[in-house]
Structures are given as structure tokens and as C-alpha cells.
């Protein structure tokens, strides 16, 4: 019971901090709509960076497959670095998506409250339509963001498998075993890149619509 109470208290505090933040931003002329656009742009950029990072990891794995003498431990360290960077890139994407959802909910709640204040039936009808259209476009964008985010998990799992296997078997047999899995990983990364590009396109469309 005590833990639940503390969690609820922390949640109330978090919501209060967000409200204070949005209020402070509005005082300097930056509204929730502007913040949402900025956060969608940040998420789009994080997705693009993650895409590049996964490609770098694939290139490092390709170098391992083409291994022709030298220090396998050095290649392992490079591949492990790529895996760690890919994990961080995915975490940043998830964080950015959460920040988008947070401000979007605040914006839509505020929009709905303000619609109720209209006395003009025409204004109320037009604003309601605009809100619903924006919500539909947002839902489509958010769904695409989450789809590309989920595609990162199996790629990270496969990279981790390869890193661990190489760590435990620093020899040519390990390279041969990894080569068997390489084709599947390459296909998964290709699918991931396709999903990320789709998500970026949806983000750009949403930004363009909201910025009009």
C-alpha cells in the first residue's frame, strides 16, 4: 500500500512538473503545438541516427565475416562497441517517442477543453473536425514510430548473440558459425531500415500538417 501511495505521489508530481513546464513555455510564446513539432522532429532525427548506427554494426559484422588473419579480439571489441552504441540508439528512440506521447496527450486534452468554450456552433464544428483529423494523422504516425521501434529488438538480440558467441569463441570456427547467421541479420536490418524510413515519412507529413 505504501509503495502504491508513493508511486501515485510521484506521478502527481511528474504531471505537476509537466504542467508547470508547459505553462512556462506558453508565457514566452511557445505552445504545446510547437513543443510537439519539436519533439516529433527530435524523434525523427533519433530514428535516422539509429538507422545509421545499425548499418554501422552490420558493416562491422561484415568485416568479421571477411576476416583474413589478425587479432580477433580487436574485431570482437569493435563489434561489441557497435552493439552497445546500437542499444543506446534504440533507447534514445524510445525516450523520444515517450516525450512525443506526453505532449500530444496534453495538447489534445487542452484542445478538447477549449472546444467546449466556443459559443459559435460553426467554430466549434470546424475546430472539432480539425482536432479529429490531427488525431488520426498523429495515431498513424505514432503507430509507425512504434513499429520501427519494435523492429530494433530482434536486431539487437541477434547482434548480442553474435557478440557473445565471438567473445566465448575467439577463433575461426566462431567466424564460420556467425557467417551462417549473417544473412538473416542482414535481412532483419533491411526490414528495420524500411520501417524507419516509413516512420520518418509519416513524421514529416505530421510536422508539415501541424506547422500550417
pLDDT score recorded for residue 127: 96
- If we measure between CA atoms, which residue out of 101, 62, 81, 75 comes closest to residue 186? 62
Question: What is the structure's pLDDT at 114?
Answer: 95
Residues 6 or more apart in contact with residue 49 via CB below 8 angstroms = 89, 92
DSSP class of residue 169?
-
166 neighbors 79 (Cβ within 8 angstroms): yes
CB 79 within 8 A of CB 61: yes
Q: Which regions of the chain are under pLDDT 70?
A: 1-16, 68-70
Q: What's the 3-state SS for 70-134?
A: CCHHHHHHHHHHHHHHHHHHHHHHHHHHHHHHHHHHHHHHHHHHHHCCCCCHHHHHHHHHHHHHH
Closest Cα partner for 196 from 142, 158, 147, 157? 147
The confidence score (pLDDT) of residue 27 equals 83
Instruction: Say how far apart CA 11 and CA 152 lie, in whole Å.
Output: 29
Cα–Cα–Cα angle for 48, 37, 135, rounded to 5 degrees: 105
pLDDT at 97: 97
pLDDT for position 142: 97
Nearest CA among 145, 111, 139 for reference residue 42? 145
pTM as predicted: 0.85
Residues 6 or more apart in contact with residue 14 via CB below 8 angstroms: none
What is the structure's pLDDT at 9? 34
Whole-number Å distance between alpha carbons of 71 and 77:
10
Over residues 6-30, the pLDDT tens digits come to 333 344 445 557 778 887 878 888 8
Write down the pLDDT at residue 30.
85
DSSP per-residue codes, 154-168: HHHHHHHHHHHHHHH
- Res 3: pLDDT: 45
pLDDT score for 16: 59
**pLDDT at position 89, please?**
97
- pLDDT at residue number 47: 96
169: which 3 cell numbers?
A: 569463441
Amino acid at each position: 500500500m505504501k509503495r502504491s501511495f508513493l508511486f501515485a505521489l510521484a506521478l502527481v508530481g511528474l504531471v505537476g512538473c509537466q504542467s508547470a513546464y508547459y505553462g512556462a513555455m506558453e508565457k514566452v510564446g511557445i505552445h504545446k503545438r510547437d513543443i510537439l513539432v519539436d519533439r516529433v522532429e527530435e524523434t525523427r532525427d533519433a530514428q535516422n541516427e539509429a538507422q545509421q548506427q545499425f548499418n554501422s554494426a552490420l558493416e562491422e559484422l561484415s568485416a568479421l565475416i571477411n576476416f583474413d588473419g589478425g587479432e580477433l579480439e580487436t574485431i570482437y571489441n569493435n563489434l561489441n562497441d557497435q552493439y552497445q552504441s546500437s542499444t543506446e540508439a534504440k533507447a534514445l528512440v524510445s525516450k523520444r517517442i515517450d516525450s512525443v506521447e506526453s505532449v500530444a496527450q496534453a495538447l489534445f486534452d487542452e484542445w478538447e477543453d477549449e472546444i467546449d468554450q466556443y459559443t459559435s456552433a460553426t467554430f466549434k464544428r470546424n475546430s472539432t473536425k480539425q482536432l479529429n483529423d490531427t488525431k488520426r494523422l498523429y495515431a498513424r504516425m505514432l503507430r509507425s514510430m512504434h513499429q520501427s521501434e519494435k523492429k530494433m529488438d530482434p536486431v539487437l538480440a541477434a547482434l548480442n548473440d553474435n557478440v557473445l558467441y565471438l567473445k566465448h569463441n575467439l577463433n575461426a570456427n566462431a567466424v564460420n558459425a556467425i557467417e551462417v547467421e549473417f544473412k538473416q541479420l542482414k535481412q532483419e536490418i533491411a526490414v528495420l531500415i524500411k520501417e524507419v524510413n516509413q516512420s520518418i515519412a509519416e513524421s514529416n507529413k505530421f510536422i508539415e500538417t501541424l506547422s500550417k
